Structure 1
Amino acid sequence: MEIRQLSRAIKATSSLSVRRPATTSYSRCLHTTSTREATPLPHPTVVAPPPSAPLASVTFPQNRVARKREQAERLQQGQQAKINPAKPTTALQKRFWKNVSVKEDEQGLHVLLDTRPVRTASKQPLLLPHSKRALATAIAVEWDQLVSAQQALKNHYIPLTSMISRVLDIEAADAKDDTTIRQAIVTMVMRYLGTDTLLCWAPENNDYDRAQEGKTPLRQKQRTVAEPIIAFLKTHVFPGVDILPILGEDSIMPTPQPQVTREVIKGWVSGLPAFELAALERGVLATKSLLLAVRLLVDWSPEFAHIRKDASKHERFGVAEAAHAATLEVMHQTDMWGEVEDTHDVEREDLRRQLGSVVLLTSVYLSAFRAALQAAVRDSSGCLHVMVYTILDSLTLVGSDVHPNFTQKTPHHSPSRPE
């Protein structure tokens, strides 16, 4: 009996030791909560057709001009508002001068705040040459538009004064044989030659141009505008050099200018006088083009009167032409897709304003001054009109002469200045 029981136990143990295949479960429980089905909500049956797509409101030029004039009036009212008496009043929140005038003596032209001269950031009196009468008047009106001394600390309120300060800094550095400022300007403007706006043309095969059948392609417009300017520069300003387009017909890789071209242009820029160098800097920053700034400078600066005499057959190149060449691609896109109000129009007028300051800084002819400012305010309104026409009213333009009272201490009153 014992032997039988022992054999049965051995068989049972051997049967348990047999390896059995493991079973794999393909279902796993992610959570232990009971499942609930979504209850769909009843949707109403829509019988009417879908609503029409929204349409842009039609605006007329007269309405836009009236709205901008209203905004300008509100801005003037805000500037004339009195300071809150609950806040502490400081000297910067007040206007410590009543009248702004231009006085001429043997040294040059002075812009006076009552009896005190306008000073630069380096605390030097602002002194202009005798030939810069229009520029001195523009600076006087610029200061007469300020309603507090605090605004004089911001460059965008006194852009012409900032440019003159730049000129005086360059002249002071040149007198000390310090080329730091001049070399910094030359290095900066030469960087724009590699990506010059005038030389960056659209591809020949443009899908957007194909969609606009019957219209002139963008590349053809760019070549039509750029080629006469390039030909003028190669003939009269940089004779004997090659100025190449940066982008090919079907390439996005820029083509560098020849080393000889870069050296000639760099030497020409390095030899500019202080007024012309500061004007060139402003023109390059405004147009993103060194060649456009050079073309505008040559056509208005008295330093290049001999070039204009040799190139008398060419048409004058002014603010409108430079702005058109600099914004040709933007105008092409806005003609295709539309203009963003208060964006494209503001940028266009700001560009004209900056180019007008280039002409005003370099030119000594009052007719040039008037043409530049009138181009800068074309189709605009508001405070800029007030400032510009105040300047024009203060000048009696007969040829190149000025009203006899201009050189005296004649105050320039601004309608936006509080009494």
Structure 2
Amino acid sequence: MIRATGSPGGWAPRRFWTHAAVQPQGGGFAILLDGRPLRTPGRALLLVPTEAFAEAVAAEWNAQGEVLDPRSMPATRLANTAIDRVAHHHDAVVETVAAYGGTDLLCYRAERPSLVARQREGWDPVLAWAARRFGAELRLAEGVMPVSQPAASLGRLRARVAAMDPFALSAFHDLVTLTGSLILALAVAEGHLAPEEGWRLSRLDEEFQAEEWGRVEEAIEMAGLRERAYLDAARLWTLLRQA
């Protein structure tokens, strides 16, 4: 279905359609390329749950040049992942994501008083929100020594994750893994924190170290790529919630 062409970097997929459009279908929304339905790499119909998300997928395909750039298609990539992988392994993905609650970034505090103060100021209110919102109080630890979290709290957090459909879970997975915090991801997903604030709070330790020891160009570039992926996930989560 995708044409290929030779290039200095090897095989490259080429554009084969003129226009991508959205069409309601089967309780969801399909994306049509010149009237033909788009399919996932696994050959399943690419059917998404909201029109807003479908429009984002179509916009990515319309924005492509002569040669496709998959890096510029996060909505399409998420849809493929949700349909071909997460839908078939929902429970396993839930377990992977929920496990972050047991070692949540916000629960592990530094030994340096100046950094501890920043962590307390930024992280304690989010943990307090989670305790109120989900009945999930979590214990704090100093340094890297592990701490056991209350089983009841972890169970309530897991239940929230398990209630997500494959599309929402795919976006949420990225929010969690890119920040290292189930609690921050929930705060952003529930609208308690703006995505930008969630990202800033996830970077407190790294920013403190950069102030102490200086910034490394490679680390800045990597952080920028991770931030972009995180903000894409937050944007797509929002689109998936729009009726």
The answer to whether TM tops 0.5 is yes
> SS where residue 109 of structure 1 aligns?
strand
How far apart, in 2, do the equivalents of 1:93 and 1:358 lie?
25
Cα offset, 1:279, TM superposition = 1.9
Residue among 46, 55, 58 paired with 1:140: 58
Pair 93,276 (structure 1): closer, same or farther in 2 beyond 3 Å:
closer
Trace 1:1-400 onto structure 2 (pairs within 5 A).
93-97=13-17, 99-105=18-24, 107=26, 108-129=28-49, 131-133=50-52, 135-143=53-61, 144-145=63-64, 147-148=66-67, 156=71, 158-169=73-84, 173=88, 181-203=89-111, 206=112, 217-236=114-133, 238-239=134-135, 241-245=136-140, 247-248=141-142, 252-299=144-191, 316-341=192-217, 343-364=218-239
CA contact (8 A) 1:287 1:323 kept: yes
Residue type of the partner of 1:318? A
CA contact (8 A) 1:117 1:125 kept: yes
How far apart, in 1, do the equivalents of 2:99 and 2:137 lie?
18
Deviates more, 1:259-268 or 1:223-232: 259-268
Cα offset, 1:123, TM superposition = 1.0
Q: CA RMSD in A?
A: 3.0
> SS where residue 104 of structure 1 aligns?
strand
Residue type of the partner of 1:163? L
Number of paired residues?
Answer: 236
- What CA deviation, in whole Å up to 9, does each residue of 1:219-266 have, x standing for no partner? 110111111111111112x12x32111x23xx5421110122222222
Residue type of the partner of 2:102? G
> SS where residue 109 of structure 2 aligns?
coil
Cα offset, 1:140, TM superposition = 2.7
How far apart, in 1, do the equivalents of 2:84 and 2:66 lie?
27
Percent identical among aligned pairs is 26
Cα offset, 1:297, TM superposition = 1.3
Pair 147,328 (structure 1): closer, same or farther in 2 beyond 3 Å:
farther
Cα offset, 1:120, TM superposition = 0.7
CA contact (8 A) 1:275 1:361 kept: no
Cα offset, 1:325, TM superposition = 0.9
State which structure, 1 or 2, has the greater radius of gyration over its C-alpha atoms: 1
> SS where residue 177 of structure 2 aligns?
helix
Cα offset, 1:96, TM superposition = 1.9
Pair 338,172 (structure 1): closer, same or farther in 2 beyond 3 Å:
closer
CA contact (8 A) 1:142 1:158 kept: yes
Q: Give TM-score, length-normalised by structure 2.
A: 0.82
CA contact (8 A) 2:102 2:148 kept: yes
Gaps of 5+ in 1: 1-81, 174-180, 210-216, 300-315, 369-399, 401-419
> SS where residue 105 of structure 1 aligns?
strand
Cα offset, 1:295, TM superposition = 1.3
- More helix per residue: 1 or 2? 2
How far apart, in 2, do the equivalents of 1:121 and 1:274 lie?
17
How far apart, in 1, do the equivalents of 2:188 and 2:169 lie?
13
CA contact (8 A) 2:22 2:55 kept: no
How far apart, in 2, do the equivalents of 1:113 and 1:253 lie?
53
How far apart, in 2, do the equivalents of 1:287 and 1:252 lie?
17
How far apart, in 1, do the equivalents of 2:199 and 2:44 lie?
34
CA contact (8 A) 2:86 2:93 kept: no
CA contact (8 A) 1:286 1:355 kept: yes
CA contact (8 A) 1:101 1:114 kept: yes
Pair 113,291 (structure 1): closer, same or farther in 2 beyond 3 Å:
same
> SS where residue 243 of structure 1 aligns?
coil
- More strand per residue: 1 or 2? 2
How far apart, in 2, do the equivalents of 1:184 and 1:279 lie?
15
CA contact (8 A) 1:319 1:352 kept: no
How far apart, in 1, do the equivalents of 2:165 and 2:196 lie?
25
